Each structure stands twice: as structure tokens, then as C-alpha cells.
Structure 1
């Protein structure tokens, strides 16, 4: 069972409590049986599943419970807390320090996605302003250096390796020394893997480790191998001091339960998860938000962090324009840039309560991003006057030669330029509508500031703008309205107003 299915099954088991008229031992046992069956099907270790069941049973004692207590909520909260414990060893991961060299060494079996993950981690830190680099100390696998070189060149990350030197210890030591002298802060060393846990592999790992003295050893674990994860994790932990774990290939097809439960074997925290092949299919692992997203409860804190990373607070000019119902082609271009910066759309939707991370299939998501890039290429061929005009579409309709010029510059058909202008006109209409809704830019609860008719009209226009496939996957107009209501009310998930959903108000107000 893949992780998305696991989340749905556990959710269904928890919701079965709501249907029961009386919460008693029989109902509790039935719910726990469903939860445990789902975990076992997803390859979670049987000992850990047994422990989870026992822990929930020990917390819930119907004889001791005071009258009037919300038994449903207590049981749901107990299961939620045990799921968190399942993937949290309670150990704080190594935190890199700015202004000094932080040496990170990668270990793992061949085929676990180690080299790709090295590049993803370097890219992650580089985006955040760190001086990051890569060292290829994998001399065992043919083409390892070429792969790392290709990845690093594409992401513009400095790298070191050798076609002639056969000793990985020499390469690692030379590369780390060179980058230390050049003042790099994150030095990532990729090491050899094998198909099996061999003595030669562990000896080489130890030799490289002794040569570079890493601050953090990261074990890359392939989520798709199921129960074998635990024996792998134990073997590596016994030979080298594994400080952190990155789970790779945790996409829609991986069961993932084996990898998550193997964390208990290493007693090392998961710090990142890889969710696909692209450099952006990579996200920091935080236990509580991960379980929330798994159960379709969203990750509002993560969404706020993503928005804050974009520095939209500095863009007061755009907010003022929207207040007055103005929206130029340049504004649309900048919003497309922001969407690209935020990362994969499916990941973002997974952070919104009520949506699972597999909201969009990889295929349609990649198509959407490619379409966005194509639209931006068209706008790159427009001049300043066209981009900054208060009604860009009018300029092109008055002078059709402009369409021909832009199409030629972007290498597209004129029809595609016309489609872009139609899309822009729809955007501008929604912005004008938003500018006319007086309560929209006030603080507090939007539903109290804005009357239902205005909100309904805005939702209708948003639906017209959206990709029909995306709207269908959201459940049509009802799904869109439900999402807007959730975002406005901040409801859902354990913890009530003071819990993770309490941040929704912050998200809705932070840009006003």
C-alpha cells in the first residue's frame, strides 16, 4: 500500500469513530484493528505496530475516564501522537553553522538515489544563500562522476572529482581541503555504494570518514524496498556513526512504511525526503506536519514558510494595485515566477488542509509547469510598454503586428500569444472584482467582512480561470468553495484553534 493510501485508510478508521453512537471497547478495538492493518500493509515493522496498539490502549481507559470527556477526540489524538512517535526518534539533527565549513558525508547502497540526493541537498542550501559544493568520492560505480558532474553543472553547483585517481580516500581528502580553503560552508561528499552490504563497502566508508572527519553522516534510504530497510539501517549504524537519514523515492508509488519504521533502528532523525527525480522534489522532514499531511490535515506552517521565502511582504506595490483593481502583464509574469519558486504544485496543495500530496499526478503537474514556462517565454519577448500598460490586452488588440513580433521573438505560434492575452484578461477581471470587494483586504475573518454573494462571484471567476483538470480534481465548484471556506475559517485537524490550523489566520492576513 502506498503512503497516500495509508493516509486515507487511517483517516477512514479514525472517522469511523464519528459514526458510532456510543464509544466503547468494541468500537476502539475495531478502529485500532483497521489502523494496524493499514500500517502492516504499508510495510511498517510488526513490532512497532504492536507497540502503537498497546500505547493507545494504555492511554484510553473507559473505566477511568470522567463523564463528559470527548472520547472520540481523545482516541484520535492518541493515535495521532503514536504515529508521530513511530517516525520520531527524539534526537535533534545536526544543524550546519554559517561562516564555517560543514562537512556532510553520504552513505547508502547502490541504487538508493545517493548521488541525486547529494545534488538536491546542495541545491537546497544554495537557494538559501549558503556556499554549497559537491565532492565525488564514488570510484566504484562506472559513470558516478559523470552523473554528479552533469547534475552539478545543471544546478550551477561547484564540484570536485577525478577520472584518473582510483582511491576514493584521496579524492575525498583533496576535494574537502580545496573547498575549505575557498571558504565553502556546505561540503557534501558522495561515497561509493554496493549492491549488497559488503565488508569492502564498510571499510571504504570508514576510511573516507577518517580522512574528511565529517560533521554529519547521512544515510540515504530507498523507500521502495520495504521491510529490508530495517536490516540495512542497522548494518550502516553499526559500522559508521549515522547522524541523519534522508528517505529517497518517497513518491506516490512507494509503500514507505518500511523506511519510516527503520528510523527506529538507526535512532537517527529523518531530515529530508525525496519525492521524485527533479531537483525540487525534495523537502525538509518535520514529523508532525508529515503525519498531518499523511492524514490530509495539511501543513499550514510549511505553507507559510514557503510564502515567507518569497519575500512578498516587500511587494506592497502589487497589493496596492490589486486593491485598486489594477493588474499588468508584468504583474502576471512576477506571479508566475513566484509559483515557480514555491516548487511543485502537488507539494503546495498537500500543505492545504483537505488535500493529499497526490492531488496532482506527476504527469499533469509537469505539464502545468512546462506550460507556465512557455507563457513566461512569450512575455520575455514583450517590451516594457506592453508589460507595464494598465490594460496590456488592449495594446495588442489595437496593433495586431505586436502579436506577430512577440510570437516571432518567442518562437511560438501567434495563436499561443492570443491565448496568453486571453488568460491575462481573465486574471485582470478577477483582480478588478477583488478591488471592488471592500472587506477583502481587512484583517480578521474574511467571511464576516465579505458578503456571500460577492464571495460566490469571486469563486465563480476563479473557477473559470483554472485548468479544468485541476478544478475537476478539486471536486468542481463545491471543492473550490470548500477549500476557500477552510482557508478562511482555519478549521480541521487535532488541536483546535490553538493547534496547527490556528496559523491559517496568519496566512490569510500576512499579505494584507
Structure 2
């Protein structure tokens, strides 16, 4: 997401970095390019005007210190204003009401509302909340079954509604059930349509009146741009939304929804869908997204992702093995692949790494190819015997053919994996002997997915 906007903004920063000081002329030139970049990113025109005016006002009134370049100064100003535009900072859900607290999910069909409901349920379950999912989408075929399947996958109860039920009756009975069974939170998934219509609005207003939700969240498909914001405004007029959830933020969207939503609707972005996996939802941090837009990455988010998804015992075991200089075998190699997949794969890691740190690797690594390579490596190692994983030197021609056949790959793929493993093993040995600088140099070009 937002790659084009990131490239344009970085280009503006490079141009201003060559200036010795700020002037009205060079600021105006820079803001002209920023305006074009924002419009191309499908940011709402009123938002573009507001943002440009704010940045221009701050830049012209800024005394650039001798120790700070104009480029660094403009980055700081743009980052602060992007953060303000998308803020406020991490607004939590309001679940202080007497249980059960109801979260009403609204949005158009195809916005990812049902999947987001399940993701949110998983997140709240991890916070020790007793959660129940409810579907009142009696119009879309299999919508109720979809939510029931998702609920089962995260071990959360889903109210037993059917397509024959009336949405209002589902609301009344599910809340009564939730009270009797002491649920903390009820997440209520409503029907979506392909466009706003009077019938849809009347139904969701009636549901809102019955449910009296603590939170009314509008789910926005980030790929819809300004159209999504116009739709959210219509829902807000009808329902008084309390927050926004941006989905598909990892997709090929231009980013207009993310940059326009809070300013136009006046409601905070509370969560973002970062990938399609059931744990692919995060609280929204405007400062982190602003940093990513400017190519600075999100190291804090990366660390949090590692703490949440990486098996700490396995990581400690590997660290001790490396420190002692013991053999780094193919089972260890596979475990690192598994840990990377848990963190969202190659694309998710690259997205949060600063562009300056990644350098040319971002152009060389295709995230999709990288993720396919991770899956292929795992399949190959899974096709090996425990002895082969422990002693890769045993893997000769006949064994390679058997492994290739078992993993649906070619012998060339087995050879490539063994070469990558050998390079990694040598780096681990260097690390155990204190050769960290050598190891870091050796890492260049050795990521899965690079050819």
C-alpha cells in the first residue's frame, strides 16, 4: 500500500535536501509535487488542501538549525502533519458498559466486514474477554455459515442464527442469550449491500436502536479510496459511528481512505487489517503509518510482531546453539522459516523495514516470490528424514530425487536449498566466533525469494 505516494514524497525530500535553506519558492515547488502525489493516491480534495496548507505554514515558519538539513526538517514536518491528519493515537474500544458490550459492525458488501468481525473476536479473546459472534446477514448466501466457520477456527462461540430469521429477532434473541451466558462482548455482523440504499439504512438503524452498541465500527476497504469515505459519511449521518476499521491495507490500494477517513468523518481509525490471516489485525498507530509512508519503516511494530508470534523458547534454543558453536541443522533452518511465516511472511517484514536499511533489496525481492520460496523450503525439508535434516551431507543424488518427488519440486530446488543452508550455517559459525560484522555483510542477497 501507498508505495507510489512513498516514492513521490521521498523524491520531494531529496530535492529539498539539496537546498541550503527554506524559501517560499522551494517550499511551494515541493508542495506542488506533494499535492499531485496525494491526489494520485486518491486522497479527498479537501484533505489535500488542508494538509498542504498545514505543512506550508509550518515549513515557512520554521527556522532550520545549522545541524539540521532542510530535507530532515521537511521530513519531520510532513511526518507530524500526516500523523495529525490520521490521528488521534491508538483510541481503544469502549467496553466499560455493563456486559455484554455490543460492537456493531457496519459497511458495504465486500469490505471484509465478516472476516474483520472474527479477527476482532480473536484479538479480544486474547485479552481474556468472553466473546460471542453474531451474524444478521440473512441476504448474502452462506454469510452466516462463513462467520460460524471463522468462529470455530478461533474457538469462539457463534450465535445459531439462520437465513430464515429476521435481523431484529436475531438481535433481540442473541443479546438475551449473551446475558444469560455471561458474555463480555458481542460482535454483531450486519448485512452489507453493493451500494447504500434506503432499506439497508432503515434496517441497520433499527438494529442500532435494539442493540444499543458500545461501539459502532465502520469497516472500510482501503482499496476503494474516496468512494469508501463518501459511504462512511453516509453511514455516520445515519448511525453516529464511533470508529473506523481499515481493511486490505497490505494490498495495492493508493491509500486515499487511510489519509482521508479521520479528517472527513471526524471519527478515529481504531484498527487496520494488515493481512488476510485471522490474526491480521492491529490497533491503529498514525505515527507508525506516517513513518512507513515516508520510507522509515515501523521497527516498533516489527518488534511487537516478533514478541507476539515468535516462539520465544525456540528462539532461545537457537541463540544458545549459535553461541555454543554447535551445528545449525536443517530442522533449525525450517524453524526460522516457520517463525517468519508467523510474522506475516516476506512482504509483511519488508513493509515494516526502513527503505534506507533495505536498500536495493526492496527492488530485488518480490514478496510473493519470497513467500512461495518459504513454502517451498518448508515442503522440501518436511520431505527429508530426521537423519537427513540433522546431517545434510548425506543428501546425494538418489536422496535428492526422492525428496524432490515427495515435495513436488525439482532436484535443482534441492540443490539451491542446500546452498542457502550452507551459507547460513557458515554465517552462524562466524557469529559464534564473534564475527558479527562478517555475518552482516554475508547476509546481503541471501534472503529466500532472491535469485
Q: Provide the rounded CA distance (Å) in 2 between the counterparts of 1:462 and 1:20.
A: 36
Q: Deviations over 1:134-187 (max 9, x none)?
A: 211111223322333344445554423433532112223433444555555553
Aligned to 1:142, the other structure's residue is in SS state: coil
| Per-residue deviation, 1:255 | 1.9
RMSD over equivalenced CA pairs, Å? 3.7
Corresponding residue number in structure 2 for 1:431: 428
| Per-residue deviation, 1:366 | 4.1
Corresponding residue number in structure 2 for 1:378: 383
Alignment of 1:423-502 (within 5 A): 423-437=420-434, 440=436, 455-456=437-438, 458-459=439-440, 461-463=442-444, 465-467=446-448, 469-470=449-450
Q: Provide the rounded CA distance (Å) in 2 between the counterparts of 1:175 and 1:320.
A: 52
| Per-residue deviation, 1:61 | 4.0
Corresponding residue number in structure 1 for 2:325: 325
Q: Provide the rounded CA distance (Å) in 2 between the counterparts of 1:100 and 1:364.
A: 47
Q: Deviations over 1:402-430 (max 9, x none)?
A: 8899889x666795777655554443322
Q: Deviations over 1:260-299 (max 9, x none)?
A: 3132232221122235544455443210010111111011
From the superposition, tell whether residues 69 and 316 of structure 1 become closer, same or farther in structure 2 (CA, over 3 Å).
Answer: closer
Q: Is residue 2:74 matched to residue 1:93? A: no
From the superposition, tell whether residues 371 and 186 of structure 1 become closer, same or farther in structure 2 (CA, over 3 Å).
Answer: farther
Corresponding residue number in structure 1 for 2:372: 367
Q: Deviations over 1:104-136 (max 9, x none)?
A: 221012222212222333344456665544211
Greater alpha carbon shift after TM alignment, 153-162 vs 344-353: 153-162
Q: Provide the rounded CA distance (Å) in 2 between the counterparts of 1:238 and 1:71.
A: 45
Aligned to 2:147, the other structure's residue is in SS state: helix
Does the CA-based 8 Å contact 2:346-2:367 persist in structure 1? no
Q: Is residue 2:354 matched to residue 1:353? A: yes
From the superposition, tell whether residues 250 and 361 of structure 1 become closer, same or farther in structure 2 (CA, over 3 Å).
Answer: farther
Q: Provide the rounded CA distance (Å) in 2 between the counterparts of 1:119 and 1:228.
A: 25
| Per-residue deviation, 1:300 | 1.1
Aligned to 1:36, the other structure's residue is in SS state: helix
Q: Provide the rounded CA distance (Å) in 2 between the counterparts of 1:91 and 1:298.
A: 18
Q: Calculate the TM-score normalised by the size of structure 2.
A: 0.84
From the superposition, tell whether residues 163 and 241 of structure 1 become closer, same or farther in structure 2 (CA, over 3 Å).
Answer: same
Q: Calculate the TM-score normalised by the size of structure 1.
A: 0.75
How many residue pairs end up in the alignment?
443
Q: Provide the rounded CA distance (Å) in 2 between the counterparts of 1:377 and 1:195.
A: 44
From the superposition, tell whether residues 428 and 108 of structure 1 become closer, same or farther in structure 2 (CA, over 3 Å).
Answer: same
From the superposition, tell whether residues 403 and 71 of structure 1 become closer, same or farther in structure 2 (CA, over 3 Å).
Answer: closer
Corresponding residue number in structure 2 for 1:48: 47
From the superposition, tell whether residues 346 and 404 of structure 1 become closer, same or farther in structure 2 (CA, over 3 Å).
Answer: closer
From the superposition, tell whether residues 420 and 124 of structure 1 become closer, same or farther in structure 2 (CA, over 3 Å).
Answer: farther
Does the CA-based 8 Å contact 1:118-1:188 persist in structure 2? yes
From the superposition, tell whether residues 363 and 176 of structure 1 become closer, same or farther in structure 2 (CA, over 3 Å).
Answer: farther
Corresponding residue number in structure 2 for 1:166: 165
Alignment of 1:13-162 (within 5 A): 13-61=12-60, 65=63, 68=66, 70=68, 72=70, 73-89=72-88, 92-94=91-93, 101-126=100-125, 131-154=130-153, 157-162=156-161
Q: Provide the rounded CA distance (Å) in 1 between the counterparts of 2:382 and 2:131.
A: 29
Does the CA-based 8 Å contact 2:64-2:73 persist in structure 1? no
Corresponding residue number in structure 2 for 1:486: none
| Per-residue deviation, 1:308 | 1.9
| Per-residue deviation, 1:21 | 3.8
